[in-house]
Amino acid sequence: MKRSFDLIVSLVIFICLFPVFLMFAFLVKLKLGSPIIFKQLRPGLNAKPFYLYKLRSMTNQRDSNGKVLPDYLRITPFGKFLRKYSLDEYPQLLNVIKGDISLVGPRPLLMEYLPLYTKEQSKRHQVKPGITGWAQINGRNAITWEEKFELDVWYVNNRSFLLDMKILFLTVYKVAVSEGINQPGQVTMESFKGSNSTIGRGHG
């Protein structure tokens, strides 16, 4: 039922918003450069890698030594606008259509985080990741990594179709009011470096 719902809804949204996507893709090309679509290897169900798609929201600016500048120097007002209203997430509908992710589930994070999870935190990979999730409507990037993982694991243990519907409706509201986009004092979420406790550490 979940897969059928994901496929139907993502196809309808993708087709209906495709003209809008083309407009923003042109603006990304104009303001931020190429490639328009940013793709990165992320862990999916059971930590199996897949390529996640997003509209690029930062430039490729580098220093005199060729090193990529920090995020806060590469993100532009246009990039902030894309993130504020989650417009950069649109290409992930293709990931849903392909079956890499679901509309609702724990957000797919970086591959390099896998060895850093505790055994409990690694449970977030027991379900498909999602475009939005329980953590996204309960703080998004404004909460700590530990709080986010607790919410992810709670979702894994309590998931249901009705809960997914609640998350989707609340996601629309959260995006509309632009709540919890960034961690306080950060342009993006600070990198996860592992929990304080190493008890029960696993590889996700």
* Range in 36-45, 120-129, 141-150, 172-181 with the lowest mean pLDDT: 172-181
Q: What is the pLDDT of residue 180?
A: 53
Supply the mean pLDDT for the chain. 89
Assess whether pLDDT exceeds 50 at residue 162.
Answer: yes
Assess whether pLDDT exceeds 60 at residue 184.
Answer: no
Assess whether pLDDT exceeds 90 at residue 146.
Answer: yes
Contact 140, 180 (CB under 8 A): yes
* Range in 5-9, 106-110, 161-165, 197-201 with the lowest mean pLDDT: 197-201
In this predicted model, which residue has the larger pLDDT, 128 or 67?
Answer: 128
In this predicted model, which residue has the larger pLDDT, 146 or 184?
Answer: 146
H helices of the chain, in order, are: 2-31, 71-74, 77-84, 92-98, 145-158, 161-177
The Cα–Cα gap between 177 and 142 comes to: 14
Q: Average pLDDT in the 153-157 region?
A: 98
Residue holding tokens 């998350």?
A: 167
Q: What is the pLDDT of residue 200?
A: 38
**Domain range list for the chain:** 2-177
58 — phi, psi (to 5°)? Answer: -135, 155
Assess whether pLDDT exceeds 80 at residue 54.
Answer: yes
Confidence of residue 1 (pLDDT cuts 50, 70, 90): confident
Assess whether pLDDT exceeds 90 at residue 12.
Answer: yes
Q: What is the pLDDT of residue 182?
A: 53
Q: What is the pLDDT of residue 101?
A: 98
User: Could you give the percent of the chain with pLDDT greater than 90?
Assistant: 70
The Cα–Cα gap between 79 and 88 comes to: 9
Assess whether pLDDT exceeds 70 at residue 201.
Answer: no
140 — phi, psi (to 5°)? Answer: 50, -120
pLDDT tens digits, 75-134: 889 999 998 888 999 999 999 999 999 999 999 999 999 999 999 999 999 999 999 999
